[in-house]
Amino acid sequence: MPSPDAVIRFENVSKRYVRRPRTVLESLSALAGRLGLGRGVVAPAVAEFWAIQNVTFEVTRGEAVGIVGANGAGKSTILKLIAGITAPTSGSVQVEGRLATLIELGAGFNLDLTGRENIYLNGAVLGLSRREIDEHFDRIVAFSGLAEFLDVPVKYYSSGMYARLGFSIAAHVQAEIILTDEILAVGDVLFQRQCLKKIQALKSAATILFVSHDLAAIRKVCSRVLWLKDGRVQLSGEPEPVIEAYLRSVQANRDQNLRAVRSLDSETGGLRKGSGEIEIVGVETLDSRGQACAVFKMDDALTVRIRYLVKGPFRDPGFCVNICSQENVFIHGTNTFIHERPVTLTEGEGTIDLRYSALPLLTGTYWLTVGVASENDWSAPYDLRERVRKFEVLSTRPDGGLVCIEHQWSDCVPVREQDPAR
Amino acid sequence: MRQHLTRLIRYRGLLWNLALGDLKARHRQTTLGMLWALAQPLSMLLVFAVVFSVFVKVPVGDIPYVLFAYTGLLSWLFFANSLSAGLPSVVSNMNLVTKASFPREVIPLSKLVTTGFDFLIGMAVLALLLIAYHRPATGALVVVPGIVLVQVMFTTGMVLWSSALYVLKRDLGSILPLILQVWMFLSPVVYPISLVPERYHTLYLLNPMAAIMEAYRSVLLFGTLPSFSGMAVAAAISVVVLWGGYAYFKALEIRFADVM
């Protein structure tokens, strides 16, 4: 039942990507393959891939629709179809209204140009005239917080600054339809909050499509959620039930995956298991000056820096770090749940530090096991890497064992027999 | 078509921005800066002048050979450089094409703005040369904008057509330098058309670049109006090429993001 208010209308939309044989040689061998000749000759398959199939939905004016689904489920394809970047293979896509594509922030920056010049370039990509950009210029700069860096070429910007500038431009062009694809993937937590607030403010004036792995953000922003699975709409409706159903399916998959992904760590040879929504991509040991260091003295400060990569949806995540000896004696373990320290994860890559103020360890080799899991459930972690990194401790104390427990010897005190004479 | 044009006009800001960005990026951190726009024509002119007026004497009448060659070279370089820059432009801006929606022709057209800028500087130098050599300024000069217009139409059509085709057939990148070289020698850049046997003239002038160069020369060097029939044919071909090139580009445009 087509609604008159619909600004976006998908009817039985399918999109197929084809990789055609390109070179003459490839074409010939493909032809030979079709004729049944040259068996054994590798005929490059004409790879065909349906990004979405028979997708039908409508978005009415002023709605904020979240799109969830695993990587490759077709979320980005839907945004590209709405944006008119690509055309459907079959079915019809109708869109009314002026568009802002936030698809991958900062697309269209020219690295050699300054921030100021790129604001004009990026605004122009979004279809604004110079005068219109002039009008919004001050607000864009104020929101980005990059006033001092305006005349610096953007190639000197950090990825966070890049994202700030991109979002600030896109959010201030007064688009009627806003498409956001993983916009929270970069930038610091503070800026992400600022982004979310801005998006909520934009809701009154615009129709929003919000693609994110951050289900909390989707809950906050969206009035409706579309769950895509393998290119089809699995479920759509009120955020809460759809997100719940999606999470249950993710959980079921996780339990299956868990057995499958349990493997030897390709980097360290240690055991690794996890479902992979969040991955530990690196563990570093740093000294008190923040320099990477693998050899410590006893009572030195040690900081464990964990680099993680968010790849999928997650819920109530937390990290753990265990220290073991060379002989795999478990010496100390802690995690963020013990400290009741809520972890706010940024999408994309990030780091978290654990600092030991003074290592009470004796001379020897020690191993770190690092993990990330949901709700303190370490039987089904997102990623757990055993013995992922080692460090040496040199101690001048000749004590034996692993841990130096503070101690004092007293003087010898002879035990006197009771003087029978007394 | 009108729809396409209104959309293109709405995105003219992007066109200027891309062109300006190219110019700035090109001249930033170079010592000569804008002067580089002159380096290519002047160095080629030097080579041609030595080879074709000292080693091989190309008969060009009482016109100084330098002037003769520079006139042809200027219009040729505008055409050839536009094609060389325009051909890969869509492909090399794939980050824009796959991430944002805008009329894609803005990208190759922005290349024409930058090569056109070089052309204008070259024209200014030509004007100085003409004054230095005391060439007479006649009323025929009023048709210069017309000749430029025909050349711009032809060049634009070729750039649109080839940049779209290049997205699908990258072989074009290897063939283009060869095509341009052959094309240059089939155009009266270094020699006058009078060296071409009379019976081939009709065929020869089907190449719009030949007619355009002849027209520039007759107006700027001899102070006479160009052959009307020659320019009419060139103009007609240019309109067809522009129209066809634009239509072809727009038909292929929606597939660009998929092929990349």
Could you give the CA distance from residue A175 to residue A208 in angstroms, rounded to a whole number? Answer: 10
Contact A127 B10 (CB under 8 A): yes
Contact A83 B10 (CB under 8 A): no
Q: Taking the C-alpha atoms of A67, A70, A74 and A76 in order, what is their torsion angle to the nearest 10 degrees?
A: 60
What residues pair up with A60 in beta bridges, in sequence order? Answer: A6
Structure letter (DSSP) for residue A149: G
Q: Which residue, among B225, B212, B195, B207, has the nearest Cα to B60 in the 3D structure?
A: B195
Contact B258 A86 (CB under 8 A): yes
Report phi then psi at A159, rounded to 5.
-65, -30
- If interface means Cβ-Cβ distance under 8 Å, which residues of chain B face chain A? 10-11, 13-14, 16-18, 20-21, 24-25, 28, 95-102, 170, 254-255, 257-258
Type of residue at A72 = G
- If interface means Cβ-Cβ distance under 8 Å, which residues of chain A face chain B? 17, 22, 80, 83-87, 99, 101, 103-104, 107-108, 110, 112-113, 117, 120-121, 123-130, 133
Report phi then psi at B173, rounded to 5.
-60, -35
Work out how many domains chain B is built from and give that number.
Answer: 1
pLDDT at A250: 79
Q: pTM, whole model, 2 decimals? A: 0.72
Identify the H or E element spanning B101.
Answer: none
Cβ–Cβ contacts within 10 Å for residue A342, how many? 10
Average pLDDT rounded to a whole number, residues A279-291: 89
Contact A83 B101 (CB under 8 A): yes
- Which whole-number Å values give the CA distances from B96 to A109, A160, A362, in the listed order? 9, 20, 57
Tell me which residue in B28, B99, B254 faces A87 most closely, judged by beta carbons.
B254
Tell me which residue in B24, B96, B258 faces A107 most closely, judged by beta carbons.
B96
Q: Taking the C-alpha atoms of A116, A119, A125 and A131 in order, what is their torsion angle to the nearest 10 degrees?
A: -90
Question: Does the pLDDT at position B32 exceed 80?
Answer: no
Residue among B99, B114, B170 with most chain A CBs within 10 A, to mutate: B99
Token couple for B77:
């370089």
Query: ipTM of this predicted complex?
Result: 0.80
What 3-state DSSP class applies to B181? Answer: helix
Tell me which residue in A86, A117, A125 faces B102 most closely, judged by beta carbons.
A125
Could you give the CA distance from residue B120 to residue B148 in angstroms, rounded to a whole number? Answer: 11
Token couple for A26:
């490839």
Residues of chain A neighbouring B10 (CB-CB closer than 8 A)? 127, 129
Which residue on chain A is closest to B15 by alpha carbon? Answer: A124
Note down the domain range covering B11: 2-259
Question: Does the pLDDT at position A249 exceed 90?
Answer: no
Average pLDDT rounded to a whole number, residues A15-31: 72
Average pLDDT rounded to a whole number, residues B13-20: 89
Residues of chain A neighbouring B255 (CB-CB closer than 8 A)? 87
Confidence of residue A101 (pLDDT cuts 50, 70, 90): low
Contact B99 A108 (CB under 8 A): yes
Contact A99 B11 (CB under 8 A): no
Q: Which residue, among B203, B251, B88, B86, has the nearest Cα to B155 in the 3D structure?
A: B86
Residues of chain A neighbouring B98 (CB-CB closer than 8 A)? 80, 85
Q: Which residue, among A122, A61, A53, has the nearest Cα to A81 in the 3D structure?
A: A53
Residue among A112, A114, A116, A137 with most chain B CBs within 10 A, to mutate: A112
pLDDT at A178: 85
Could you give the CA distance from residue B27 to residue B36 in angstroms, rounded to a whole number? Answer: 8
Could you give the CA distance from residue B17 to residue A91 in angstroms, rounded to a whole number? Answer: 36
Q: What percent of chain B has pLDDT over 70?
A: 100
DSSP line for A60-106: ETT-EEEEE--TTSSHHHHHHHHHTSS--SEEEEEE-S-EEE-SSTT
Which residue on chain A is closest to B24 by alpha carbon? Answer: A113
The residue whose two tokens read 């801006």 is: B93
Sequence-distant (≥ 6) Cβ neighbours of residue A227 within 8 angstroms: A67, A68, A69, A233, A234, A235, A236, A242, A245, A246
Tell me which residue in B14, B24, B257 faces A125 most closely, judged by beta carbons.
B14
Could you give the CA distance from residue A66 to residue A239 in angstroms, rounded to a whole number? Answer: 8
Could you give the CA distance from residue A133 to residue A117 in angstroms, rounded to a whole number? Answer: 11
pLDDT in tens, B170-193: 889 999 999 999 999 999 999 999
pLDDT at A363: 86
What 3-state DSSP class applies to B104? Answer: coil
Contact A127 B254 (CB under 8 A): no
Residues of chain B neighbouring A211 (CB-CB closer than 8 A)? none
Least confident of A104-118, A334-348, A362-376, B2-16: A104-118
Give the minimum alpha-carbon distance from A126 to chain B in angstroms, rounded to a whole number. 7
More confident residue, B146 or A264: B146
What 3-state DSSP class applies to A245? Answer: helix
Give the minimum alpha-carbon distance from A118 to chain B in angstroms, rounded to a whole number. 9
Q: Name the pairing type of β-strands A383-394 and A330-335.
A: unpaired
* Whether the Cβ atoms of residue B101 and residue A99 lie closer than 8 Å to each other: yes
Average pLDDT rounded to a whole number, residues A314-331: 89
Contact B13 A108 (CB under 8 A): no
Residues of chain A neighbouring B14 (CB-CB closer than 8 A)? 121, 124-125, 127
Tell me which residue in B17, B97, B170 faces A121 most closely, judged by beta carbons.
B17
Cβ–Cβ contacts within 10 Å for residue A92, how many? 11
Q: What percent of chain A has pLDDT over 90?
A: 26
Average pLDDT rounded to a whole number, residues B23-37: 77
Contact B99 A101 (CB under 8 A): yes
Contact A123 B13 (CB under 8 A): yes
DSSP line for A175-225: -SEEEEESGGGSS-HHHHHHHHHHHHHHTTTSEEEEE-S-HHHHHHH-SEE
Could you give the CA distance from residue B87 to residue B179 in angstroms, rounded to a whole number? Answer: 13
Q: What proportions of chain B, in percent to the nearest 5, are helix, strand and coil? A: 80, 0, 20
Confidence of residue A56 (pLDDT cuts 50, 70, 90): very high
More confident residue, A37 or B134: B134
Question: Does the pLDDT at position A254 exceed 70?
Answer: no
Confidence of residue A217 (pLDDT cuts 50, 70, 90): confident
pLDDT at A421: 56
Question: Does the pLDDT at position A348 exceed 90?
Answer: no
What 3-state DSSP class applies to A274? Answer: coil
pLDDT at B239: 97
> How many CA atoms within 13 Å lie on the side-chain side of A2?
9
Contact A117 B21 (CB under 8 A): yes
Radius of gyration of chain A (CA): 28
pLDDT at A285: 92
Average pLDDT rounded to a whole number, residues A158-171: 82
Q: b or e along A252-281 (b: 16 or more beta carbons within 10 Å of the residue's beta carbon)?
A: eebeebbeeeeeeeeebeeebbbbbbbbbe
Average pLDDT rounded to a whole number, residues A285-295: 88
- Which whole-number Å values give the CA distances from A86 to A145, B130, B256, B257, in the listed order? 34, 51, 8, 6
Contact A113 B99 (CB under 8 A): no
What 3-state DSSP class applies to A370? Answer: strand
Give the minimum alpha-carbon distance from B158 to chain A in angstroms, rounded to a whole number. 24
Average pLDDT rounded to a whole number, residues A71-77: 86
Contact A107 B100 (CB under 8 A): yes
Structure letter (DSSP) for residue B206: T
Least confident of A31-40, A331-340, B47-56, B123-132: A31-40
Question: Does the pLDDT at position A106 exceed 90?
Answer: no
Which residue on chain A is closest to B259 by alpha carbon? Answer: A19
- Which whole-number Å values give the CA distances from B41 to A293, B53, B121, B159, in the listed order? 58, 17, 11, 21
Token couple for A6:
């619909």
Which residue on chain B is closest to A51 by alpha carbon? Answer: B258
Token couple for A302:
């040690």
Q: What percent of chain A has pLDDT over 70?
A: 84
Residues of chain B neighbouring A87 (CB-CB closer than 8 A)? 254-255
Type of residue at A411 = D
Q: What proportions of chain A, in percent to the nearest 5, are helix, strand and coil? A: 25, 35, 40
Contact B100 A120 (CB under 8 A): no
Q: Which residue, among A104, A93, A100, A179, has the nearest Cα to A140 in the 3D structure?
A: A100
Could you give the CA distance from residue A55 to residue A88 in angstroms, rounded to a whole number? Answer: 11
Contact A83 B97 (CB under 8 A): no
Could you give the CA distance from residue A129 to residue A136 in angstroms, rounded to a whole number? Answer: 11
- Give the angle subtended at the CA of A344 by the CAs of A343 and A347, to the nearest 5°: 125
Average per-residue pLDDT in chain A? 83
Q: Which residue, among B255, B7, B4, B252, has the nearest Cα to A87 in the 3D structure?
A: B255
More confident residue, A263 or A203: A203
Give the minimum alpha-carbon distance from B99 to chain A in angstroms, rounded to a whole number. 6
Give the minimum alpha-carbon distance from A343 to chain B in angstroms, rounded to a whole number. 32
Residue among A110, A151, A156 with most chain B CBs within 10 A, to mutate: A110
pLDDT at B137: 81
Residue among B101, B166, B168, B256 with most chain A CBs within 10 A, to mutate: B101
Average pLDDT rounded to a whole number, residues B72-81: 95
Contact B21 A113 (CB under 8 A): yes
